[in-house]
Amino acid sequence: MHSSIGLGFGIALLSCMGLSVHGGTTSEVFGMTKDGREVEIFTLTNGRGMVAKIAEYGATLTELHVPAGDGTTVNVVLGFDNLEQYLGGHPAFGATIGRFANRIAHGRFELDGKTIELRKGGKHHIHGGTVGFSRVVWNGRILESDPGEAAVELRYQAADGEEGYPGKLDVVVTFTLTNRDELRIEYRATTDQPTVVNLTNHSYFNLAGSGDIKDHVLQLSADRYTVPDEDLIPTGEIAAVTGTALDFTSPTKIGERIETFYPRPGGYDHNYVINGEPGTLRLAARVVEPASGRVMECETTEPGVQLYTANWTNPGPRGIGGNYGRHSGFCLETQHHPDSPNKPDFPTTVLRPGGTFSSTTVFRFLTR
């Protein structure tokens, strides 16, 4: 492993605890998979006291501790403190999702005149299939970084035919904590055959650290959304959010209209079309937690973002913050639009040999 350069009392403390110290990043064993493979977890610390924990299993963000104005820190993502729970059933807390995030209708699409059949979890293909990138062990290494920053790189090679996808796919995901209190996630992928790629991170955020997120105030830089059918598959229509419960073009409490929209009541699970030019890093969302004054901004190069509000039934999974009940977190899954391989009018997700899939998302934390 290559050492990174970093600062902070937290690193010295970790060294005293006997962990492997590499400047702003440390590593330790998180656990063992059922087939006996060792899984590492990396702790990144920037010079301002922000801490991220990222596990090789699923290239998963397990914790993200953000400083507050009074000098304390709060973990703002839902997750577990042990590998065993990640190996069991859970709603993709913090995981890297691929080869194709979100849904592909009926697990089928056409590519260069061939019908591709994917593994399905029920009626449709979702989040990469029955295993997907969220349930495999990635290879992590610590990267050198600028003073006050910390970074880790995770690699995975998906085999030709894995989950039904054509082509051997080499994927690299880099997590960086910057000295501006940002978590920067960069994705790169190459293939040896034509295939489709759509990668995202599936973190659930709660800027209060506990409770539900209904009082969080959300603003999306999105005037339009992809209209879904009853199975949350886009119909192909892109419609304006104006006059609907999906309108977050001005700051609005997430819980204000959470039970009123279609096609299903009970919470948001919708893909928004981000304003501006896809491929350029631009603002997708801004979220404020009023009680603490904590603010999160999300920037991305992706064309869309899926807003999901943890719509499961109570009491929900038990994690680091206790029982994660209904609406205990929100996801901002930056992505290409769902079912893009079957929607020629959507931005393409096709990747060919010689090309590179490239995507960046930044989560920036501030206080009012």
Cα 16 to the chain's mean position, in Å?
32
And the tokens for 30? 């998180």
Instruction: Pick the closest to residue 26 from 36, 39, 47, 12 (CA basis).
Output: 12
Catalytic status, residue 333? yes
* Residue 110 among the catalytic residues: no
| Angstrom distance (rounded) from CA 271 to CA 345 | 15
User: Nearest 5°: CA angle at 335, between 101 and 256?
Assistant: 100
Q: With beta carbons less than 8 A apart as the criterion, state whether 271 and 226 touch.
A: yes
Catalytic residue among 127, 202, 270, 327: 202
Taking residue 14's Cβ as centre, other Cβ atoms within 10 Å add up to 18
Q: Which amino acid is at 139?
A: N
Q: What is the DSSP string of 111-134?
A: ETTEEEE---SSSSEETTTTT-GG
Rg, C-alpha atoms of the chain: 20
Dist CA 191 CA 188 (whole Å) = 11
Beta bridge partners of 38: 32
For residue 315, is the peptide bond before it cis, meaning its omega torsion is within 30 degrees of 0?
yes
CA 9 to chain centre: 29
Written in H, E and C, the secondary structure of 139-197 is: EEEEECCCCCCEEEEEEEEECCCHHHCCCCEEEEEEEEECCCCEEEEEEEEEECCCEEC
- Catalytic one of 270, 333, 336, 337: 333
Phi, psi of 51 (to 5 degrees): -130, 130
Per-residue DSSP letter, 203: P
Which SS3 state, helix, strand or coil, does residue 16 take?
Answer: helix
Question: In this structure, are residues 254 and 214 in contact, taking their beta carbons and an 8 Å threshold?
Answer: yes
* Residues 92, 140: Cα–Cα separation, whole Å: 19
Looking at the annotation, which residues are catalytic? 202, 333
